[in-house]
Structure 1
Amino acid sequence: MSVVPQEHQERIPIWQVLFDDFFLLFLLGVAVPFVFYTVWGLIDIGSIPTAKPIVISASVAPPPAGALVVETTMSEFKFQIAQTSLPVSKPVRFNIANKGGIEHEFIVEKAGAVNQPLKSDGQSAKTSIVPGASGYLDWTFAEPGQYQIRCHISGHYEAGMVARITVR
């Protein structure tokens, strides 16, 4: 057995040692932190606060003088309207609450129309309301007839989100 004296041993450059131990470095630099982060995240997941709906609060203008106020609720995928027979030539305020978990549109159209909101003086009879929020739409129907309130967000109307109203 031959022993090489220490002064004759070849020195290995540090980069070669590190390169030879790539797997060890990978394990220490990437895998171990990933495991700790994942485990810590799973253990601490109970302390993550749940999201609360954002309620938009704004001062609401009073309804037009002599307006009929109609309470309306939207949810998945329906409208609940307190009154479906409305007067012609009299202001109507639709107070609209979105009780659903997703955004909905409130569009007033002639019965059978497809995404053609009523228009008057440059205004359209439509609004969108985010979940948990409320809003309103003021409208005066100029003509008697059959109308519909509809949500045109993709798939909502097809799921039955339409209500019929009569203006007399």
Structure 2
Amino acid sequence: MKTPNTSRRHFQLALLALPWTLAAHAARAHGERHGSPSTTVVKEQKPWGIAAEPREATRTVEIRMTDDMKLSPNHLEVREGETLRLRAVNQGRLMHEIVLGTSEELKAHAEMMKKHPGMEHDEPYMAHVPPGRRGDIVWTFNRAGEFEFACLIAGHFEAGMRGTIRVKARP
């Protein structure tokens, strides 16, 4: 038989667990499956472009990731409207990723990753790549401008693991 004190204690414990439950839910809401293959490509227009089907890629650019927190190449030139397969190749022993975005969005996301280091993603503009593996992002750069790509795993972005993408306007 539960006494009022037992019920109150269970309620207090539930309240104490609430912040961790909400944090875990927020991380899951962001996506729990870094780089897991998805059966359908979500085509949501972003300031830096839109996801594309693999068959739409007109060229492949290999981006190598290493444990010295370097991306190579770290600068890409793209024509507006061009669809690329960005092949992220992890040559290190640590987990790495590549995320496309604006400078502001990547900085904000990197801060969130520091607060929730176990957060995982499943967005078409992200590739989470285990050591010795590779992952692809197929993306149509349909907006001219300056954008970035980076590894947002806690500490990697701050160590300089980032690059730039210049999308040149159509003539």
Q: Give the superposition deviation at 1:82.
A: 7.8
Distance in 2 (CA, whole Å) between partners of 1:82 and 1:146 is 13
CA deviation string 1:9-39 (max 9, x = no partner) = xxxxxxxxxxxxxxxxxxxxxxxxxxxxxxx
What does residue 13 of structure 2 align with?
A: none
1:75 Cα deviation from its structure 2 partner: 0.9
Between Structure 1 and Structure 2, how many residues are aligned?
103
**Structure 1: tracts of 5 or more residues without a match:** 1-57, 117-121
Q: Find the partner of 1:78 among 42, 64, 70.
A: 70
Equivalent pair of 1:71/1:82 in contact (CA under 8 Å): no
Cα offset, 1:71, TM superposition: 1.3
- Partner AA of 1:132 in structure 2: G
Equivalent residue for 1:148?
Answer: 148
Q: Displacement of 1:65 after TM fit?
A: 3.6
**Could you say which residue in structure 1 is the equivalent of 2:90?**
98
The aligned amino acid for 2:160 is G
Separation in structure 2 between the aligned mates of residue 124 and residue 65 of structure 1, nearest angstrom: 14
TM-score (norm 2): 0.54
1:131 matched to which residue of 2? 131
Q: Where does residue 104 of structure 2 map in the other structure?
A: 112
CA-to-partner distance for each residue in 1:57-109, whole Å, 9 max, x for gaps? Answer: x9xxx942451211110112111028610121121101121001100111000
Change over 3 Å in CA distance of 1:83–1:70 after alignment to 2: farther
Task: Please say which structure displays the higher CA radius of gyration.
Answer: 1
Q: Hey, which bits of structure 1, 4+ residues long, moved more than 4 A?
A: none
5+ long unaligned stretches in structure 2: 1-36, 38-52, 111-121
What amino acid sits opposite 2:61 in the alignment?
A: V
AA of the residue aligned to 2:124: S
- Per the alignment, residue 12 of structure 1 pairs with none
Cα distance in structure 1, aligned partners of 2:129 and 2:142: 25
TM-score by length of 1: 0.55
State the identity as a percent. Answer: 26
Per the alignment, do residues 102 and 73 of structure 1 end up closer, same or farther by CA in structure 2, a change over 3 Å counting? same
CA distance in 2, matches of 1:65, 1:155: 34
User: For 2:93 and 2:123, how far apart are their aligned partners in 1?
Assistant: 28
Q: Aligned Cα RMSD in Å?
A: 2.5
